[in-house]
Amino acid sequence: MDPAKVKGFLSPVEGQMLSQYAVQGVLLGEAVEIGSWCGRSTIYIANEIAKTGRLFFAIDHHRGSEENQPNWEWFDKEVWDEQAKAIDTLPHFRNNIRLAKLEATVVAMVGNSAAIGKAWGSPVGFLFLDGGHTMSAALADYRAWVGHITQGGILAIHDVFPDPADGGRPPFEVCEMAIASGLFARIDQVDSLMVLQRL
Ligand code: MG
């Protein structure tokens, strides 16, 4: 299953970089992503995690972010559940993980990522942040999860656009906040993916 064929918004070079840092981070703690959509990033990352025998926790409420809703820029009617009158990417996600033969590695956690972060209890060695892109959603995820990232652990953030003309600002603001806190250093980037390391 080629992850580039799965619906999603991650470029192949971003996927490759994520998987490389996930394998590094999982040596230090659990590997977690926030914002799975139909599983493109999940498959890039879990393909490599599977070789280590570890799990990959994929968190999403599967109802889509603001920009995915009807009449918004990134609405896709193929993920619309007419009965629920809501987006539902979970069946697509589950099918893609099955096709990719990653069901033993990927643990889907369906719910609010910030709420899950507050209840989470294990050290995290790799966190991929790609959830809601409003300031309140991006901040809530950051605040709920940042304390779980262990020393040397990786925080990767998607859709970081230093120039506002290229896209929304909250992921960029969260990235700047993480660096300004003195807890993280920027170690790599490609396209709109920024990779930080916990000092
Ligand atoms: Mg994204």
pLDDT tens digits for range 170-197: 999 999 999 999 999 999 999 999 999 9
- The model carries a pTM of 0.96
Within 10 A of 172 (CB to CB), how many other CB atoms are there? 21
Q: Which domains does the chain have, with CATH numbers?
A: 3-198 (3.40.50.150)
Residue 168 has pLDDT above 90, yes or no: no
pLDDT band at 41 (very low <50, low <70, confident <90, very high): very high
**What's the pLDDT at 167?**
79
Q: How many angstroms does the Cα of residue 10 sit away from the middle of ligand 1?
A: 6
Residue 66 has a pLDDT of 83
Indicate which residue of 61, 92, 133, 148 is catalytic.
Answer: 133
Query: Could you tell me the distance, in angstroms and rounded to a whole number, from the CA of residue 157 to the centre of ligand 1?
Result: 8
90 CA distance to ligand 1 centroid (A)?
Answer: 17
* Range scoring the smallest mean pLDDT among 8-22, 84-98, 161-175, 181-195: 161-175
pLDDT per residue over 93-143, tens digit each?
999 999 999 999 999 999 999 999 999 999 999 999 999 989 999 999 999
Say whether pLDDT at 74 is over 90: no
**Known active-site residue 133:** yes
pLDDT of residue 1: 84
pLDDT-derived band at 18 (thresholds 50, 70, 90) equals very high
CA 133 – ligand 1 centroid, Å: 8
Gap from CA of 193 to ligand 1 centroid (Å):
9
The reported pLDDT for the residue numbered 162 is: 87
